[in-house]
Structure 1
Amino acid sequence: MVLKTKTGGPVGSSRRGFLSGAAALAGLAVTAPPAFARASGRIEALLAQMTLEEKAGQLSCFADMIRPPIGDINPLVNIRNAQTLIAEIKAGRIGTLINGVGAQAALDTQKAAVEGSRLKIPLLFAADVIHGFRTVYPISLAEAASFDPHLAERTARAAAVEASASGLHWTFAPMVDVARDQRWGRVAEGSGEDVYLGEVMAAARVRGFQGRDLRAEDSMLATPKHFAGYGAVMAGMEYNSVEMSEATLRETHLPPFQASFAAGAMTTMSAFNDINGIPATANRRLLTDILRGEWGFKGVVISDYTADQELVAHGYAADDRDAARLAILAGIDISMQSGLYNRYLPELVTSGAVPVEAVDQAVRRVLALKEAIGLFDNPYRSLDPEVERKHTATLAMRALSRESGARSIVLLKNDQGLLPLPKAGKRLALIGPFADDRDNVLGAWGGFFADRRLNVDLATGLRAQMADPANLIVERGCEVETTIAGGFERAVAAAQAADIVLLAVGESEDMTGEAKSRTDIRIPPVQQRLAEAIAATGKPVVVLLRHGRAIALEGVVKDAPAILATWFLGSEMGHAVADVLFGAVNPSGRLPVSFPIDSGQQPFFYNSRTTGRPAPADPNAQEYKARWRSIRNDALYPFGFGLGYTSFSLSDLKLSTARLAWDDTLHVTAKVRNTGQVHGDHVVQLYIRDRVASRTRPVRELKGFQRVSLAPGAEREVHFELRRENLMFVGDNDYWTVEPGAFDVWVANSCVDGLMGSFELLPFDRG
């Protein structure tokens, strides 16, 4: 008897259970949009007319120096000036331009392609629109703290409306790498350490960027990146190598990509890193066997910036020509910025080193992408200067930036109910390098296209809500990593003159993001010394953390009575923080990354596997157990944790059955009650553990969450469903499997607490 999965893959027997094809994860199937089902007659007609040079041109992408961005987005490699770009566009040697903005210049450039080139093939305009455009929203990691995919979809939609109005068709987002080492700077760009949360947020952002109609003027193609395993670079060092098992690759790092493609993403970007010695950009097994063969992906794969040329530095390609050959044969459709395809593909084909069919298939995919978004029928879509004027930095966009910022804040500590603060009657001292700083509110990717005139600093946000703005004293005390002459003295005096101190400390934009790995994820030493000086005054301190990763808190910062994780919240940061501080918004964010006790714990994540000698319950026991000599391997603040200005209780856990049949659904319910005095939101989380399996399993795995909004005293029942597919893992033969046996389940407030139940998954009944 042969069983079938939901995606039609074969199922065979294993030691304890049954196997499925990899694409069956969570029931996700990759489906091709109609435009990709088969090449249209128009595309085939164009392909028949194209020279090898024109084919290579469609597969080549370059930095847009006709309308260059402000600031350095990428290294200055192989840069072409505007005159050269126009000439090459008219010669059919460029198919895509990146990171240029402005509708009028894009319109003029598109005319050069459509009216000035032989085949009149329109250009794609792409850019790194990560978490906003002119109006900036919270960094993706912060937004993940909202545990609200609908919010992520709304901010991505708003970013697409604004960016497409400025002449863009394609964004290189979302970043969906699962990141479990907080030393890595690009943790800030993703959704944190959990696979399920990463899947949900990735799919939401794809839907938001692309909208309901790819041909709409305000639709932007989404690009889940980086394919694959980039979040696991060794020691958290940018661009480093990755060593991982097949099971870890498939179970942890690939699912958010599958979720993105299932949500409609039609492009992806290869990663800079190698995996087990094979660079991703030349990894045919990743880009062709898995992506296209197993998953059926029909879309376009673009290299990261000069990643194909970097195959030489990897020691994987002999020279640039060899690098171009390896990349196209692996499955890279578009070469970004290196120019290798333009330079070498024609000769590689004529010499027989690359089959012309490989080039033709890549060109078909690129032309199909342009057809899918309507460029052949309307090459000037999204290129209207009047639309750009109307749809940039609107009041609605700014309001959404403020809302999303407030919903992304996580209250980590609030001893004696110090927060929220009264708007009147207290003298406040705002101290720290971010007190009145407007240059570090957006995050690493937020500033390249942003209208920085919109940036709201903390001091401005606080004063806007205080009954008497004169009751706010502002002193920086120090810069991010250096002292200010007399800064400590003035800061201490300000603290002594105040009733409550707001201490704004943490990381600058320049300490997070790409190429910003850190060996030490603590607050910079000069800021720690400032905090100690302020704490010595004896005044109550509220810590306002600025950060793009989990921070290892220590000393007086860790011991402060109140701590808010405020991340980089975007254009309206000052107002968003003030909304939470003064209680206009009850904080409801939850941590998408675990805050460690010490920097040295990295990589650290909640859903690790247990060992044969797990740490004992007694925190003082040390001998021969899995723990550090000085500390337990626990989190200071765990994944999923967050407080509010009210309290919630969970009760009455019920499972619909203790014995789950193979094809049935387990219904898990519990009651959540607001036991506090104010209205608030709570994020109720569902976790499981497979007690015994053919591969050791994580201590807990997130499988669902719900946001519940309740008035004081109100109660609601939350309902979750678990099916066999939700219990799957990659088994000992590197196929997805689900095995009958005992499972624990928690309905919880975070990954370390909750109401616990158990059930048994029964074997398949062959009838």
Structure 2
Amino acid sequence: MIGIWHSLIETSHSRLKIQLVIEKKEIYTLGLVMEPFPLPLTITSVTVEGNRLDAIGYSVMAPGEEAAVKLAFDDDTFLGEIRLPFMGTISLQGSKGSGPSLAEAMISEVAPYRKADVRERSEDEIRDAVEDLLGRMTIADKVGQMSQCMASSFSFGGNVASDPPEKLVAEGSAGSILGAFDSRRVFELQRIAVEQSPHGIPLLFNADIIHGHQTIFPVPLAWSCSWDLEAIKQACAIAAKEASASGITYNHGPMVDVTRDARWGRAVEGAGEDPYLGALIAKAQVEGFQGDSLFDPETIIACLKHFIAYGAAEAGRDYNTVDISEGTLRNVYLPPFQAGIEAGAGSVMNSFNLYEGIPVAASRFLLKDLLRDELGFDGILISDYGAIEEIVQHGNAKDAKEAAKKAVEATMDIEMVTRSYDHLPTLIEEGQLSEALLDAAVRRILAYKFKCGLMDDPFRYIRPEKEIEYHFNSAHLLASRELARKSIVLLKNDGVLPLAKKGGKVAVVGPFGDTKDLLGPWQFSRHGHETVTLRQGLEAKGLEADRLLFAEGCGVECEIEGGLEQAAERAKQADLVILALGESSDMSGEAASRMDIALPAVQRRLAEEIVRLGKPVVLVLTNGRPLVLDGLEERVDAILETWFLGSQAGHAIADILFGDSNPSGKLTMSFPAKVGQVPVYYNRFNTGRPVTEANKEQKFVSKYLDGSNDPLYPFGYGLSYTRFDYSDIRLDRNRLTMDGSLVASVTVSNTGPMSGEETVQLYIRDLYGSAVRPIKELKGFRKLALAPGESREASFTIAAADLAFWTPANGYRAEPGEFKLYIGPNSRDAKEVEFELI
């Protein structure tokens, strides 16, 4: 029974294919893949007796409910059933092999609906066409364009009372669809919209394309550690290429929230704690997803989320209250959104939190005054899932009717999935709401349907032939592997890395040594079973079975009977141990906040068993947030932070471990030494009683009684297998005028044995002003690739605009005064000089 098997299933809505991937090394494992949409199922136990296989598992979409698989195999066929928490019991009958491509069967079916010679319309033509259509629409038609529904009964959140999507689309009560992972489903619903709805207006198809569609790239927190804007842009462009081939036109990403609290699960989706770097990465992602023109059918609308300050949730608890000043809002949380809007993002999504006591979904100040009027955003504003209904739950509206009124008055264009906007016709009839507000929203929605070419060619994004060509192809996998290598951060190395390709035995110990759970949250790939594990990556480097020992030791959060003993025995036989520990994918992401951000207790016990053997130990971490490594960091010889690296994770990690690639990643979130420091971030304000080297033994200064204020690893930190030396900083002048500039330079030399890449970082501190500024702020970086013995100069030009910040009294401006300028390999270890702005 070992190998790949498949079963074809006909449902009332679509044709499905389930693939079963059965493997055996130490034990049997079962992978389940559903095509054309993903199967969110984790198998925890597999039992084989003769020709029968039984398995149990769970789905993160239905916590507490068990899934079960029962199969009986013949030579080339099998029979059985699968019970899924969200689909019930499905009978299976299939045969050996991966089976036919479902996309291939659609090619001839879709072809007659495609149009040729469709040209891109001008802005004037779009405006005229929108006004013509708008003039023929009823209030109900307009509300339909502002309403979204799910493609099926599947729900990402709580259950939503709603009619079937076929009915809503046919009557014109839905203008966009969420969760149509199946291109056949896209085709069916689009055909209903075009052929049956009142004006034949095509649908937008929305999905969360966060770090890849079928080819999965490193999670955004990981790829931010590459500091490689072009590689991030390319990853988003590839994701758009794959997603658009399946009919997806509208992305619910990128997430550009600044994140300072590692307890918050959604830290995994962002670029970390710095607004400057976050802004550059936001721009790169928008440009990647949207390309040069949304008329290109290989691009998708980018949606900046979550506007705004979602990452400041108190206690790091998802959906929790936010209470910050306007200065913090504008100086910390706004820059990535501003950069994304300037890059042309077509959409923005609200955050779930309050600001100044008002839910963002109802905040006219944030959504109308700041986002639209001040920042000039004229795209589609979409609510997050259930956010309009939650205005009631927050206590800012009596009922869904009042919530809908407030959201529309705040210029919210589309309600995601829930049905509060069904109250809009009544509100207009009662004179409580102006129809002009609906007209403005529908203009924006229709304008983007024209910009995407949907109004002239509704089926242009349904391209099964391109699905076959693009999904998980070799070029995309290579790009994923390259970015994964750049995303790995070497946190510690006492000389044990890189590993020798010839020599002694290596033991891989831990729950992440041979798991495919390396993709991270917010991905829906059908190719999860093809994820390269760490063990597979090492084997591909030529480690034969007699040199590569393996023991799982424990589960991510549970014990395995005899697991610790087996792990210790394997480790004793080895010359070096790779300790593969971390978090499962469902421990990060939305609704995945953690109070204790240490490794789970069972993994800490496993680590203790291994390190006390006295062998050289390399800790390889798989996780979606900075972790507290207290008690372990000082006892291992090397630490690789690999995050969730995507489809080619195992190959990328092995490339780094063996030195085929020199690590170059730099942290974009500080690692706390203790959980009590959280939130800990480099660009903090000074206090009136700052702790210093001179006063650290005194009592009445801002410090802890039981430990240092400093993080374990600071923002910007990351080691290499070579050494980089920095010269003193050179300034071409030490006085800067408001209309002038100065140049700061250093010479960086590779004094080690290997070629490598260094990210040279520039920080500035405004020493005094009308409002306090952070002790350091990133203002630039340069990436230098240097051969052994090579030296190069890194230069930075500073102007007054780089020193500007927002205050209530003065708005955005730079203030004359004295500044410190730092250049170095991270936010802590940097050389400094002073200059003056006059």
TM-score (norm 1): 0.92
Q: Which amino acid aligns with 1:735?
A: G
Partner of 1:419: 497
Within 5 Å, give how 1:64-83 maps onto structure 2. Answer: 64-65=151-152, 73-78=156-161, 80=163
Q: Greater shift after overlay, 724-733 or 614-623? A: 614-623
3-state SS of paired residue (2:276): helix
Q: Is the 8 A contact 1:619 1:632 kept in 2?
A: no
User: 2:465 — aligned with what?
Assistant: 386
Q: Distance in 1 between matches of 2:648 and 2:198?
A: 47
Question: Match for residue 128 of structure 1?
Answer: 208
Q: Name the structure 1 match of 2:48.
A: none
Shift of 1:168: 0.5
Which of 445, 453, 458 aligns to 1:374? It is 453
State the Cα distance separating 1:687 from its structure 2 match. 0.2
Instruction: Kindly provide the amino acid, as one letter, of the partner of residue 371 in structure 1.
Output: F
Q: 1:93 aligns to what SS in structure 2?
A: coil
1-structure distance, mates of 2:341, 2:757: 31
Give, in whole Å, the separation in 1 of the partners of 2:570 and 2:122: 64
Alignment-derived partner of residue 595 in structure 1? 671
Helix, strand or coil at the partner of 2:303: coil
Cα distance between partner residues in 2 of 1:665 and 1:37: 41
C-alpha deviation, 1:619, in angstroms: 8.3
Q: CA deviation at 1:458?
A: 0.9
Residues 455-470 of structure 1: matches in 2 within 5 Å? 455-470=531-546
- What is the letter of the counterpart of residue 605 of structure 1? Y
Match in the other structure for 2:249? 169
- One-letter code aligned to 2:501: K
Give the Cα–Cα distance (whole angstroms) in 1 for the partners of residues 722 and 701 of structure 2.
38
Name the aligned partner's letter for residue 435 of structure 2: V
1:698 aligned to 768, 774, 778, which one? 774
Aligned mate of 1:579, from 629, 637, 655 = 655
1:664-705 deviation per Cα after TM superposition (whole angstroms, max 9, x unaligned):
122111111111011000000000000111111111000011
- Alignment match of 2:831 (pick from 733, 752, 755): 755
**Which of 522, 526, 543 is the equivalent residue of 2:619?**
543
Letter in 1 for 2:774: P
Aligned twin of 2:518: 441
Cα deviation, residue 563, structure 1: 0.3
Q: Compare relative contact order (CA 8 Å, sep 6+) and give the higher one, 1 or 2.
A: 1
* 1:682 aligned partner, one-letter code: E
Using the TM superposition, give the Cα deviation of residue 65 of structure 1 relative to its aligned residue in structure 2, in angstroms. 1.5
Aligned length: 719
Residue 187 of structure 1 corresponds to 267
| 1:228 aligns with one of 293, 308, 312 | 308
Give the TM-score normalised by structure 2.
0.84
Q: 1:261 aligns with which of 327, 334, 341?
A: 341
Q: Distance in 2 between matches of 1:90 and 1:404?
A: 43
Q: Is 1:56 the equivalent of 2:132?
A: no
Distance 1:591 1:557 in 2: 16
User: Counterpart of 1:645?
Assistant: 721
Q: Does 1:358 align with 2:434?
A: no
How far does residue 319 in structure 1 lie from its aligned partner after superposition?
0.5
Secondary structure at the counterpart of residue 637 of structure 1: coil
Amino acid paired to 1:420: P
Summarize the Cα distance change of 1:79–1:656 in structure 2 as closer, same or farther, 3 Å threshold.
farther
Match of 1:407 in 2: 486
Distance 1:39 1:436 in 2: 53
- 1:129–1:173 CA contact under 8 A, matched in 2: yes
- Which of 121, 137, 142 is the aligned partner of 2:217? 137
C-alpha separation in 2, matches of 1:223 and 1:424:
49
- What's the CA shift for 1:559? 2.6
Conserved? CA contact 1:107–1:384, under 8 Å: no
1:344 equivalent in alignment to 2:423:
yes
Aligned position for 2:177: 97
Residues 664-683 of structure 1 mapped to structure 2, 5 A cutoff = 664-683=740-759
| Change in CA separation of 1:557 and 1:654 when aligned onto 2, cut-off 3 Å | closer
Q: 1:61 & 1:720 partners in 2: Cα distance? A: 47
Structure number with the higher strand fraction is 2
Cα distance in 2, alignment partners of residues 102 and 192 from structure 1: 33
Among 288, 296, 299, the alignment partner of 2:376 is 296
Distance of aligned partners of 1:507 and 1:618 in 2 relative to their CA distance in 1, 3 Å threshold: farther
Where 1:555 maps in the other structure, the secondary structure is coil
Per-residue Cα deviation, 1:127-177 (whole angstroms, up to 9, x for no partner) = 001000111000000000001111110100110011111110111111000
Kindly state the Cα deviation for residue 470 of structure 1 after the two structures are TM-superposed: 3.1
Aligned counterparts, 1:185-264, within 5 A: 185-264=265-344
What stretches of structure 1 of length at least 5 have no aligned partner?
A: 1-32, 763-767
Q: Kindly indicate whether the alpha-carbon contact (under 8 Å) linking 1:239 and 1:272 is maintained by their aligned counterparts in 2.
A: yes
| Cα deviation, residue 105, structure 1 | 2.8
Cα deviation, residue 39, structure 1: 6.3
Aligned-residue offset at 1:334: 0.3
User: Is this contact kept in 2: 1:35–1:371, CA < 8 A?
Assistant: no
Give a deviation string over 1:100-141, Cα, whole Å, max 9, x none.
Answer: 123333123212111222211110011001000111000000
Residue type of the alignment partner of 2:128: G
Report percent identity of matched pairs.
44
* CA–CA distance in structure 2, aligned partners of residues 732 and 329 of structure 1: 26
Counterpart of 1:46, as a letter, is: L
Closer, same or farther: CA 250–562 of 1 in aligned 2, 3 Å: same
Q: Distance in 2 between matches of 1:39 and 1:161?
A: 25
Q: 1:515-534 residue pairs with structure 2 within 5 A? A: 515-534=591-610
Change (3 A) 1:323 1:59: same
- Alpha-carbon separation, structure 1, partners of 2:836 and 2:635: 43
CA positional deviation for 1:35: 6.7
2:297/2:452 contact within 8 Å kept: no
Assess if the C-alpha contact under 8 Å between 1:36 and 1:298 holds in 2: no
* Distance in 2 between residues matched to 1:592 and 1:74, nearest whole Å: 30
Q: Distance in 2 between matches of 1:501 and 1:619?
A: 42
Does the 8 A contact of 2:577 with 2:617 survive in 1? yes
Task: Tell me the amino acid that sits aligned with residue 353 of structure 1.
Answer: Q
Structure 1 counterpart of 2:497, one-letter code: L
Q: Specify the alignment match of 1:17 in structure 2.
A: none
Q: Deviations over 1:489-537 (max 9, x none)?
A: 0000011000000001111111110001111111111111110110111
After superposition, the Cα gap between the structure-2 partners of 1:336 and 1:734, relative to the gap in structure 1 and judged at 3 Å, is farther
Cα deviation digits, residues 572-631 of structure 1 (max 9, x gap): 111111110011110000000000110111111000011111112158614111111111
Moved over 4 A (4+): 33-39
Q: Residue type matched to 2:613 in 1? A: T
| Deviation of the 1:733 alpha carbon | 2.2
Write the mapping of 1:462-501 to structure 2, written as runs, cut at 5 A.
462-501=538-577
Q: How far did 1:748 drift?
A: 0.9
- For 1:363-385, what per-residue CA distance to the aligned partner results, in whole angstroms no more than 9, with x for missing partners? 11111111111111221121121
Q: Which amino acid aligns with 1:441?
A: L
Report if the CA contact (8 A) 2:670-2:680 is conserved. yes
Contact map agreement 1:421 1:581 (CA 8 A) in 2: yes
Contact conserved, 1:135 with 1:450, CA < 8 A, in 2? no
CA distance in 1, matches of 2:552, 2:470: 36
